[in-house]
Chain A
Amino acid sequence: MSFSQLGVLALIVYLAGMLIVAEIARRARRDESPSDHFLAGRQLGVFVLFLTLYATAYSGNSLLGYPGRAYRSGYSFIMATGFMMAIIVVFHVLVPKLRPAAVQRGYVTPGDWVRDRFGDDTAGRWLTLAVGLLMVGALANFLLAQLKAMGEVASLVTGDLVPYEWGVVGLAFLILFYETRGGMRAVAWTDAAQGILMGAGLATLLVWLLGEAGGLGASRCRTAPAERIG
């Protein structure tokens, strides 16, 4: 079996695994409420929440985009590590205030708080719409990076048996399908599975790379000319 065929097989097994996890998540739903669909009934445990945050923050952009950017920019891109971690730090400002409000007043989306805070009249509705559009605009850039990464990986691991364009469109539809069907619980559970895979894969890759290169210092010398180190 060639590497390309092995890649296709791995991709099929991986996607089948994700669909199974998502289907199990769908069957675990408690009711048909928006809260259960969009927030998994607010019942996600610490382990799943941790992994879903990890898999969301460290995804296609950090696995494919960041190494390339780091190679081009040099060590100064180490600051990206801190920026990514700052997401969880900033939650300290938002969560203690917003979580009780969200539970007590039944918010499902951030726009619900805006409408609750500023009223349900015309101005309040426009403000809610503006907040929604701002969030879409902010997340679109992040989402596009994921779509691009999916296409690149699908093309790479299958030796272009699955072309880049098919990887982007096909995988986007597949994810859209199981996330629409299973809601936030499917998102979180598939993220958890992907987070475990990603953590194990990255740890293995790090050990393998350092072993092959002969240590951290040697790997630095092999990948970057001396004038770019400082």
Chain B
Amino acid sequence: MRMILLVAIGVLYVFSIPWYRAEDAPLRLVLGLPDWVAVALGCYAAVAVLNSIAWLLTDVRDDAELPASLGLTNAPKSEEPGSGADR
């Protein structure tokens, strides 16, 4: 579900840019704003909502196993004396 929301956020960002609008398209106003501005604002509002939901669905556990992509293979730093870790 979280991944779907993040993909949706990406799609909203794509549609927030008026690449689909012809350069000579007539000006149409929505709530006093050009239509493409209203679309962009609507996309950003939706991004804010979806992002909030995505964060609510994000479970960050402090004791989670560290992913290999971080490249941390040595012993935990906090066990080393004088390492600058939490004291």
- A112 close to B (CB within 8 Å): yes
Q: How large is the interface on B (under 10, 10 to 19, 20 to 34, 35 or more residues)?
A: 35 or more
Tell me if A34 is interfacial: C-beta within 8 Å of chain B: yes
How many inter-chain residue pairs (CB < 8 Å) link A and B? Answer: 107
Partner of B32, one of A95, A101, A112, A215: A215
- Cβ–Cβ contact B47 & A82, under 8 A: yes
- Residue among A82, A86, A95, A218 having the largest count of chain B Cβ atoms under 10 Å: A82
- Interface 0/1 of B8-38, CB less than 8 Å to A: 0100010011000000000101011110110
Q: Is the CB of A35 within 8 A of B40?
A: no
**98-115 of chain A: CB within 8 A of chain B:** 98-101, 103-108, 112-113
| Nearest-Cβ distance from residue A95 to partner chain B, whole angstroms | 6
Give the chain B neighbours of A107 by CB distance below 8 A.
77, 85
Q: Determine the distance from Cα of A108 to Cα of B43 in the docked complex, in whole angstroms.
A: 36
Contact between chains at B27 and A229 (CB < 8 Å): yes
A79–B66 touching, CB < 8 Å: no
Are B64 and A100 in touch, CB under 8 angstroms? yes
Instruction: Give the shortest distance, in Å, between A230 (CB) and chain B (any CB).
Output: 5
Q: Residues of B contacting A78 with CB < 8 Å?
A: 37, 40-41
A217 within 8 Å of B (CB atoms): yes
* A85–B48 touching, CB < 8 Å: yes
Which residues from chain A contact B71 at a C-beta distance below 8 Å?
117
Does A212 interact with chain B (Cβ within 8 Å)?
Answer: no
Rounded to whole angstroms, the CA-CA distance of A217 and B38 in the bound complex is 12
Give me the interface of A with B, judged by CB distance under 8 Å: 31, 33-35, 75, 78-79, 81-82, 85-86, 88-89, 92, 95-101, 103-108, 112-113, 116-117, 215-220, 229-230
Contacts from B to A (Cβ < 8 Å): 6, 9, 13, 16-17, 27, 29, 31-34, 36-37, 40-41, 43-44, 47-48, 51, 54-55, 58, 60-67, 69-72, 74, 76-78, 83-87
